[in-house]
Amino acid sequence: MKIAIAGASGYTGIELLRILSSYEDIEINQISSRRYSGKRLKDVFPFFSGRFSDLVFQEDIDIQSSDFFFLCLPHEPSVELVKRVYESGKKVVDLSAAYRIKDTKAYTEFYGFEHKYPELLFKAVYGLPELFRDDIKNASVVANPGCYPTASILGLYPAVKEGVIKGEIVINALSGISGAGREPKQQFHYPEAFGDSYPYKPLMHRHIPEMENVLKNVSGSDIKVRFTPHIIPVSRGMIATITFRTDLSKDQIVELYRLEYRYEPFIRFLTEPPHTKYVSGSNFCDIFVDKDERTGLAVVITAIDNLGKGASSQAIQNFNIMTGREETYNLLTGIVYP
């Protein structure tokens, strides 16, 4: 199987290359990067060695030359490239938000562009295997989830599915700086980012419609979330703290989550709040569930690697499912610690 990675010089593309380099039954035959077009992978990133290191970055991807595509591009270019791949009869995992949301109005309101292919939105499958595994198996287009939605939805799914939440849902999430991508930005310049932490876009974050759209599909009703993202001065990692009111006791809410996820290979339950270090470099989502009996609020805390389960390793989990491999193939690796 010949694989192409568009936008391979960004953090998610680099992570895809790292994981896929251990697959012996595939060939990565195309990598694109307009910034590094004409240069070899190992010349741009000397830490790559082995059979893919002599690959040369192209300016664009040729649809006819590969069998499977990973797109690590901005949203608008992905809209067009996904359409071309789909029309060629081949399969694609898109890591942008271009096909995650079914409501076209959300793209105008939250992303600033009008989606040209609303009919294809409804053919794309949301790539969160714990919820949509059966749909992913037969999909040609998989919209890989965002990192914040992955951490948040996995923390909410059992409670939303069973309808045990009373009232509002509040999510406070913390992300490592790599979530902003590799493009240099002043606020992520080392002297400004080191030792600093702050919330951003607390009312109109782009991931809000994505979360609410998926939760609506699961529950059959409109669900609103009060979501506040924060930047923390670490390279990678994500923590989401979710609170909601419920009539279930602590033991009942814990049992609900354990039963729902009992067969999920990448969900791990902890008896104490998780750390980002526990999941670094992995595809795991660590979950801690408890209830504050004094306030009647359930507390669910999730931890993922924002470049792993929040992006590239989840894309490969989807790839495994779409190509008939064991879902866990090449993903049950140890974490990078410390």
Query: What CATH number is attached to the domain comprising 280?
Result: 3.30.360.10
Which of 45-54, 156-165, 239-248 shows the lowest per-residue confidence on average (mean pLDDT)? 45-54
Q: What percent of the chain has pLDDT over 70?
A: 100
Runs of H (alpha helix) within 194-331: 207-219, 250-260, 312-322
Decide: helix, strand or coil at residue 94: strand
Asked, for residue 295, whether it belongs to a domain, the answer is yes
Asked, for residue 66, whether it belongs to a domain, the answer is yes
Write the CB contacts of 313 (distance below 8 Å, at least 6 apart in sequence): 15, 19, 282, 283, 305, 307, 331
> Is 159 in the same domain as 300?
yes
Q: Whose CA is closest to 276, among 198, 229, 338, 231?
A: 338
Query: What does the pLDDT look like over 107-154, one tens digit per residue?
Result: 999 999 999 999 999 999 999 999 999 999 999 999 999 999 999 999
Asked, for residue 338, whether it belongs to a domain, the answer is no
User: What six digits make up the tokens of 242?
Assistant: 């979710």
Per-residue buried b or exposed e for 283-309, using 16+ beta carbons within 10 Å of the residue's own CB:
bbbbbbbbbeeeeebbbbbbbbbbbbb
Asked, for residue 327, whether it belongs to a domain, the answer is no
**Any idea which residue has 């790839």 for tokens?**
319
Name the band, by pLDDT with cuts 50, 70 and 90, for residue 182: confident
> Is 129 in the same domain as 261?
no
> Is 271 in the same domain as 157?
yes
> Is 191 in the same domain as 269?
yes
**What is the domain-level CATH number for residue 45?**
3.40.50.720
Q: Does 285 participate in catalysis according to the annotation?
A: no
> Is 95 in the same domain as 54?
yes
For residue 144, report the phi and psi dihedrals to the nearest 5 degrees: -65, 130
Catalytic residue among 72, 95, 142, 147: 147
> Is 165 in the same domain as 256?
yes
Tally the domains of the chain. Answer: 2
Asked, for residue 242, whether it belongs to a domain, the answer is yes
> Is 140 in the same domain as 152?
no
> Is 122 in the same domain as 212?
no
Asked, for residue 328, whether it belongs to a domain, the answer is no
pLDDT of residue 334: 80
> Is 136 in the same domain as 182?
no
Asked, for residue 336, whether it belongs to a domain, the answer is no
Owning domain of residue 234: 148-304
Beta bridge partners, 227, equal 171
Per DSSP, 145 falls in state P
> Is 7 in the same domain as 121?
yes
Asked, for residue 272, whether it belongs to a domain, the answer is yes
pTM of the prediction? 0.97
